[in-house]
Structure formats: structure tokens, C-alpha cells
Amino acid sequence: MPSLSSLAHALPREGRVGLLAECVTASWVIKYLLLCGCDALAARLLLLRNSSASSGAASLKANKLDQQHSLPHARFSYKYALTERNATNFADRKNRNKKIEPDDEFVDLDSAGWRDVPADHPEVVRLRNDLEKYNGLADLETCSPGDVQRAAELFYRDGFVVIRDVLDAKQLAKLREGCEEVMTEIVKLDKHRRGNRGSHRYSFSPAYQHGSMLHHPAWVQLVDLPTLTPILQRIFDSPDYHCLNAGGDFCLPGTTLYQPLHTDVGDRHAYKAGDVLKSHGSFRDPRGKVTLRDLPCPSIACNFFPDDQTALNGPTRQIRGTQKWCMRSPSLEEEPSWMQYSTACPVKAGSVILRDIRAWHGGTPNLSNKCHAIPAVYFWAPWYRENLGETGPAMPRDVYEDPEITSDYARHLLRYLVAKPGEHIDCSMRSDFGSF
């Protein structure tokens, strides 16, 4: 770790004056730790002091809130919005175990939302104003498909990268049509908009018996794109990575809840369920010397944008550099405001965000008037095989072998997921659309 004096002498004279002034504040301690590469310790200090939003945004340079002195907390005040109509969604969690009711009055997706609170509720108006003013990473750098090296550098540094212009007009239209078809089928089953990821929030793949979208051509086309495959090969440093699954999420207008920050994978731990020893999680070093976060990226989630991603329609928040942090992600009560506003927006339709699945991320409110979808394809590194095939085949053989749907290289990437010749896969939708 460099000394404070050596770091100071490396700065110009005017920088040294600023350095001296910063040294007397706790914010400087966090800045210094970040400069030295001690991200996890810096984050722990930040959260322990409840990370006042202004210093948190300045020290981590997360987004355009750097110059703000006072930031509103973006959480929706549910207790002021509860009514008899929405109490089953917000207050009585036991109702999630009751039978899902179909919506016989469904008209279209865009009018299917706002079942918890009205769009003009004072708390909704306040939150909408805050999101319009503060939401989004001001210094978000996007790459073109030709920026292969720069895309890899940003991915390694931040744990995610946005690539623009990945889908052409024909591919984009096909994806939009496929998403609308599936979203309509799911929402028609859910009169109260309970969702399978929280109120008004849904995941595509759990809604199907085989837990995948690899039966649908709109998703299969995303496995091998000439605009994206070279970037994935560069990040994995190999052409022999493989596809894990396809799915993604969508949220209806009126999604007022934040999804807690989380990671999609963690170190494995063993536990007893009765007399049976089970394990949960991923990689684990029995010597205790290496964690999953010390390794190269094991898996990439590619979330595509059929429509523009804006400050109001539920953009994913991504916390930079957290793919290497060993601490747990903060709860909604602990999460500082700058993290809540650290969203990947604005981003144009036809783009994709590549996520290291170890990095902290989470869904945000959709206070627009449009349903927002982020269909996804997931890939594993060439060296990563844990629990592969446990849930059975995810792709019908006829779709896999159809050259009009699946390219030769896509078949190579999907080689572990396809059904055997003559093997049947139930691709029907579950009656409870995967709710829990």
C-alpha cells in the first residue's frame, strides 16, 4: 500500500492543498482506501457510518450526484400508500401461498399496471420527481460492437459494461414481439400483479415447466450475435465458453418497490436439512485461502434492451467494482442513496448490458406508462461447470437443430443444454407462473 506522503508528492501543488484538506474528513479515508485498491474495506467503512449520501457519492464517484449536498432517499413510503385494495400485496405475505387468480379483464400490458397505488399518489409523484432528477450514472461509458478491448477493460474494472447497437432492426423487432407475447401470457394469469419476483415484477424462465426460454426463437437468436460474440470471447479469453440458460425479467408500470441489492452467486456452504447434509452456493476452497471473488469471472449475464432504458422505467442499478467485494450486499434499510440512483441509464433500445453475476445489482421502480423487459442469456466460463445439467435439458432438440434458428456456433455454446434425440421437454407455462 503506498504511503500517504508518496501519494501526496505525486500530486501537483494545488492537488496537495486539496489532499491536506480532505485528510481531516472520513470521506478521505474511504477515498484513500479506494485508491489503494482496498475496495471491500472502503465499502465496509462506508456502510458502517451509514454512508451519508453526499460523501458516498463523492468518494466512489458513482454517478451525477457527486456535487449534491443532500440526497433524498429513493425508497417508496409504503405505509402511506396502503389501501384495502393493495394490502394483500404489501401487508399479508401469506396470501402468496394462495391460488393465483387469472385476470379476465386484461386489455394490454401497458394498462395492466398500477394495481397497488394510483400513478398520481403523492408518494409516487415524489419518487418520480426524485428519479427524474437524480437517477442514472452520469459518467456511464457505452461501447460499440467494435470496441472489443475497451469493453473488456470496463467489464473487468466495473463488473459490467454496456454495448450499444448490438441488435439490428429485424432482431430487435423479433425480440420485442417475443417479449410481448410471453409477458402477456404471464400477466393474464395474475389478476393482482403479485409477480414471481415481487409485486408487478416477473422473471421469464421460472414461468415455464423446464425453467428456460431456450424453446423460443426470440431468445435463441441472442446466443450468437456477430456484434456480441467477439466481446464475450475476449472477456472469457476463449471461444469455448458455454450457454447456461436464457430468461430475464420484466416489470409492469406501477412497480414502486425496489428490489434489494444482491449477487447471483456466492461461495458454497454446507448445512443440514434434517438428517441430510446439503450445500448451497458455488465455488469453495476447503483451505479457506481463495473465494469465488478472487477468481476470474465465472459467469456473464447478458441483459438486452428491446426498448430504451430510462430513469423512470425500472433500469437496473449496478454497483461498480462489487464483483470483488467479499462483504454482503446492504439491505434496503442500509443501502445509501447514491447506490439506489446508480442505474445503467439512459441506454438506447438494441443495446445490451453484460454483467459479472458476482456484482451487486437490483431492480428499481417502473413509474413510466410502459412495461419494461430485459430478456437475458447467461454464459459460463470455459472452466466453470458446477451443478451443470442438474435441472435437466433446457432446449428442445428440434429448435437446436433448426439452422434457421440456431447457428453452428450457437449449437456449440448450447451443447450441454439440448435434449437427447427422442427426449421430450415440457415447454408449457406453469399455472402459477413460477410464483413463490
> Tens of pLDDT along 308-364?
999 999 999 999 999 999 888 999 888 999 999 999 999 999 999 999 999 999 999
Statement to judge: residues 202 and 316 lie in one domain:
yes
Statement to judge: residues 37 and 94 lie in one domain:
no
CATH of the domain at 346: 2.60.120.620
Statement to judge: residues 200 and 214 lie in one domain:
yes
**Residue partners of 302: CB distance under 8 A and separation at least 6:** 222, 228, 232, 352, 353, 354, 355, 376, 377, 378, 379
Statement to judge: residues 119 and 56 lie in one domain:
no
Gyration radius of the chain's alpha carbons: 23
- In angstroms, the CA 304 to CA 236 distance is 19
Identify whether 282 is part of a domain. Answer: no
Statement to judge: residues 140 and 53 lie in one domain:
no
Statement to judge: residues 78 and 64 lie in one domain:
no
pLDDT tens across 69-78, in order?
A: 345 655 544 4
Whether 40 and 32 have beta carbons less than 8 Å apart is answered as no
- In angstroms, the CA 371 to CA 353 distance is 19
Task: Give the domain extent around 3.
Answer: 1-69
Statement to judge: residues 40 and 154 lie in one domain:
no
Say if residue 249 is exposed, middle or buried (CB neighbours under 10 Å; 0-12, 13-18, 19+): buried
pLDDT tens across 217-235, in order?
A: 999 999 999 999 999 999 9
Identify whether 186 is part of a domain. Answer: yes
Q: Is the pLDDT of residue 20 over 70?
A: no
Statement to judge: residues 32 and 116 lie in one domain:
no
Identify whether 269 is part of a domain. Answer: no
Q: Is 26 left (phi over 0), alpha (psi -120 to 50) or beta?
A: alpha
Number of domain units in the chain = 2
12 versus 234: which is more confidently predicted? 234
Residue 268's pLDDT is: 81
Residue 190's pLDDT is: 92
315: DSSP letter: P
Q: How confident is the model at residue 280 (pLDDT cuts 50, 70, 90)?
A: confident
Q: How confident is the model at residue 376 (pLDDT cuts 50, 70, 90)?
A: very high
CA distances to 36, 235, 389, 394 from 244, in Å: 36, 16, 9, 9
Say if residue 170 is exposed, middle or buried (CB neighbours under 10 Å; 0-12, 13-18, 19+): exposed
User: Among residues of the chain, what percentage have pLDDT more than 90?
Assistant: 60
Nearest-5° angle of CA 58, CA 137, CA 133? 90
Statement to judge: residues 188 and 319 lie in one domain:
yes
pLDDT tens across 39-58, in order?
A: 556 655 555 543 333 333 33
* Length of the chain in terms of residues written: 436
Statement to judge: residues 335 and 228 lie in one domain:
yes
Identify whether 272 is part of a domain. Answer: no
Identify whether 227 is part of a domain. Answer: yes
